[in-house]
Structure 1
Amino acid sequence: MNDRSIDYYKVFLRYDIQRRTRLVIITKNILICDDSTLVHKAILRLLPEDDGLNLHYAEDGKAGLECLSQHNIDVMFLDLTMPVMDGFEVLRSLPVRDYDTKIIILSADVQKQAIKRCIELGADHFLAKPFAPEQFTTLLAELGITARSVDLSVHLAEQELDYISIFKEVANVALGRGAAIISDHFGEFIKMPLPNVAHMGVGELAMAITDIKNNGNSIAIAQRFVGGGIHGEALVCLRGKDIAVFGERLGFSQMDEHKNEIVIDIANLMVSSFLVALSEQMNIPFSVRQPIVLEEYMVWNETDDVTSELFTVEYTYHAESLDLECDVLFLMDSGSTQVISKIMDTLH
């Protein structure tokens, strides 16, 4: 080897070493766009510790787009059901800058049409909530991710998650599976609702019932359920011109318009689909009573203690192609709240 060859080799070696060094210190920017702190923590626990990953997070789609416009995000984990702006709106708004961002959908909305829409709008992968650690780890390996942000993990670890926050994510998953069941029957996309989990005073409930009774454009149905020490009642309020059309497309038929069979069947499906999915996550079998139409003359829960609070889950389904809205309110007593709290502690 002559001197010129040796010099060339040294230059190549120096370049290769520098190039390899640059590869080692390259930082990946990761965005977690999800309104659930529980999901943030779950992802962070699965990311190996290193200094080569810079994490960003957003609690709604609008904040996510702002982050994408300000940073070269390599991978975005995107939820579909969020306040302010949902994941579908985010996908339709991309790209916001000239940078190749890999988009991973993490969603409880597991409708076949939801998955199809995400892929058509440019998503690279779809993981259903709750995702298996093995699935997530495999995906990380494909993306070349081997690190996590220490600062963010410490920040999130300091946040205490109460049972309501945990149950909200459980309810979100149950709603997604319930929407998939309804969508399969219906044959079209159902707009995935964002659940509201909270406590409600009986006085507030009484006002809500009065509003339902006084609304001549809606039909309300009540259905009781029980399971594993949880006792509750679901109120389903249907409104819109296409209730009968929706029922017929779900396979229900109207035998007697004065008995509201089709309305009762729709309400039963709305309640049962949620409870079946909830049962799978909480490992509690639920049984339901026959739903009844809430008539104006009926007095509902008149013996309840007016000083007590109820644990509630509230959401609204929208049929994308029909004039139909369905409000669902699950109500559980104080004894049920204690049971739910204990179960959420085991899931956290």
Structure 2
Amino acid sequence: MSYNKTVLICDDSRLVHRAMQKFFGDYEGVTLFFAENGQQALDVLAQNNIDVMFLDLTMPVLDGFGVLQRLPVNHHPTKIIVLSADVQQQAIERCVDAGANYFLAKPFSRPQIEATLIKMGISLIPKNNTPIEGIKPKRKVFARENDYLYQFKEVANIALGRGAAIISDHSGEFITMPLPNVAMLGCGELEMMISNQIQRADSTAIAQRFVGGGIHGEALVCLYGQDISTFGKRLGFSTFDDKQSEVIIDIANLMVSSFLVSLTEQMNIPFSIRQPICLEEYMVRGITEIANGELFTIEYSYQSEKMDMACDVLLMMDHNSTQVIRRFMETLQ
């Protein structure tokens, strides 16, 4: 019986690639292949007999759902483990219906991977390299100054997926979500971005402040689409005297709070949020004026798959908040 295995890691995250490479590096006879998007994964599958594929759902070029729809590409029986931050119940059901064998939510742990492989009947032989007791590994340092931004993007991606699951559970709608963008932006870039969103004729902008654990931030939510009121009713929000602004504020509050709840779980920092307010263009300068000229930003969006309703969310945090986030990411090294 051969214990040699071929494993494909299909994920756009370098952190996942490193984690899986470290995991399988402890076993004999494992050949690893890596893909950063679904199209690359299909190319690898077409040219190699892959025993197990770990598949992310949210990726550029071609997402995980697209990969599942195009399988099989050869006659080898590849087993598929979906490894995703999108934990909507509908997403899990769609993966299983499309042929995935298991679904694991990010962040994942080593015991979870081991248990899943055992359930699938995949045997791995550990290498004979027991670590020496009493010697602690050296602390890793960032290879580049802004690596913490890239690493925090994975944290934000997990929060985005869990937030989408909360909204999907309440509304009964499947929520599509692209990858979040995490970056340091200057005041000029922010002011232009916010002005463009506010000036959209079909959108309504809402601002909401949040604080927690030394982090001080402002959230900007822009909602647009013809089905906002219907979507609000699905969520249980009702209007008073047919004032749609009340529903919009309630939806915006949910879009921000659901994301922050997941950040609270991951960072162990409880956030409190203030009452949202509708934002006018003259208020933009007050939001973007800061002392050192840059803000830590997280940008993400949610869109209902079947309803005409979408929102763009921009979280902005000051310099002191950036240091808190950076220290948190260093603890994960």
- Say which structure is richer in helix: 1
Are the structure 2 counterparts of residues 27 and 310 from structure 1 closer, same or farther at C-alpha, using a change threshold of 3 Å?
same
| Aligned counterpart, 2:312 | 327
Summarize deviations over 1:275-328 as a string: whole Å, max 9, x none. 000110000000001000112443442672375111111111110010111101
Which 4+ residue blocks in structure 1 deviate beyond 6 angstroms?
A: none
Equivalents in 2 of 1:256, 1:232: separation in Å?
A: 32
2:217 equivalent to 1:238 = no
2:122 equivalent to 1:143 = yes
Are the structure 2 counterparts of residues 85 and 163 from structure 1 closer, same or farther at C-alpha, using a change threshold of 3 Å?
same
Q: Which has more radius of gyration?
A: 1
Q: Which runs of 5+ in 2 are unaligned?
A: 128-139
Equivalents in 1 of 2:100, 2:309: separation in Å?
A: 29
Equivalents in 2 of 1:41, 1:31: separation in Å?
A: 13
Secondary structure in structure 2 of the residue aligned to 1:122: coil
2:73 equivalent to 1:96 = yes
Equivalent residue runs for 1:89-238 within 5 Å: 89-141=66-118, 142-146=121-125, 160=143, 162-238=147-223
Equivalents in 2 of 1:292, 1:320: separation in Å?
A: 27
Secondary structure in structure 1 of the residue aligned to 2:20: helix
Contact kept, 8 Å, 1:247 with 1:266, in 2: the verdict is yes
Larger deviation: 254-263 or 298-307? 298-307
1:72 to 32, 49, 58: 49
Q: TM-score with structure 1 length normalisation?
A: 0.86
Q: TM-score with structure 2 length normalisation?
A: 0.90
Equivalents in 1 of 2:142, 2:151: separation in Å?
A: 13
Q: Could you tell me the percent identity over the aligned residues?
A: 60
Larger deviation: 307-316 or 85-94? 307-316
Contact kept, 8 Å, 2:300 with 2:313, in 1: the verdict is yes
Summarize deviations over 1:65-100 as a string: whole Å, max 9, x none. 111111111100000111111100110010111110
Summarize deviations over 1:29-55 as a string: whole Å, max 9, x none. 110000111111222222253441110
Secondary structure in structure 2 of the residue aligned to 1:118: helix
Contact kept, 8 Å, 2:27 with 2:124, in 1: the verdict is no
| Aligned counterpart, 1:20 | none
Contact kept, 8 Å, 1:193 with 1:316, in 2: the verdict is yes
2:289 equivalent to 1:293 = no
Contact kept, 8 Å, 1:62 with 1:85, in 2: the verdict is yes
Are the structure 2 counterparts of residues 34 and 302 from structure 1 closer, same or farther at C-alpha, using a change threshold of 3 Å?
closer
| Post-superposition offset of 1:339 | 0.6
| Aligned counterpart, 1:250 | 235
Equivalents in 1 of 2:63, 2:101: separation in Å?
A: 17
Contact kept, 8 Å, 1:52 with 1:147, in 2: the verdict is no
| Aligned counterpart, 1:35 | 12
Contact kept, 8 Å, 1:140 with 1:146, in 2: the verdict is no
Secondary structure in structure 1 of the residue aligned to 2:189: helix
| Aligned counterpart, 2:133 | none
Number of equivalenced pairs: 317
Equivalent residue runs for 1:304-315 within 5 Å: 304-305=289-290, 308-315=293-300
Structure 1 vs Structure 2 CA RMSD: 2.0
Contact kept, 8 Å, 1:53 with 1:147, in 2: the verdict is no
Equivalents in 2 of 1:259, 1:113: separation in Å?
A: 28
Contact kept, 8 Å, 2:9 with 2:54, in 1: the verdict is yes
Are the structure 2 counterparts of residues 303 and 200 from structure 1 closer, same or farther at C-alpha, using a change threshold of 3 Å?
closer
Contact kept, 8 Å, 2:28 with 2:124, in 1: the verdict is no
Equivalents in 2 of 1:347, 1:205: separation in Å?
A: 29
Are the structure 2 counterparts of residues 146 and 301 from structure 1 closer, same or farther at C-alpha, using a change threshold of 3 Å?
farther
| Post-superposition offset of 1:132 | 2.5
Summarize deviations over 1:143-191 as a string: whole Å, max 9, x none. 223369xxxxxxxx99947211211111111111111100010112111
Are the structure 2 counterparts of residues 259 and 120 from structure 1 closer, same or farther at C-alpha, using a change threshold of 3 Å?
closer
| Post-superposition offset of 1:258 | 4.8
Are the structure 2 counterparts of residues 185 and 303 from structure 1 closer, same or farther at C-alpha, using a change threshold of 3 Å?
closer
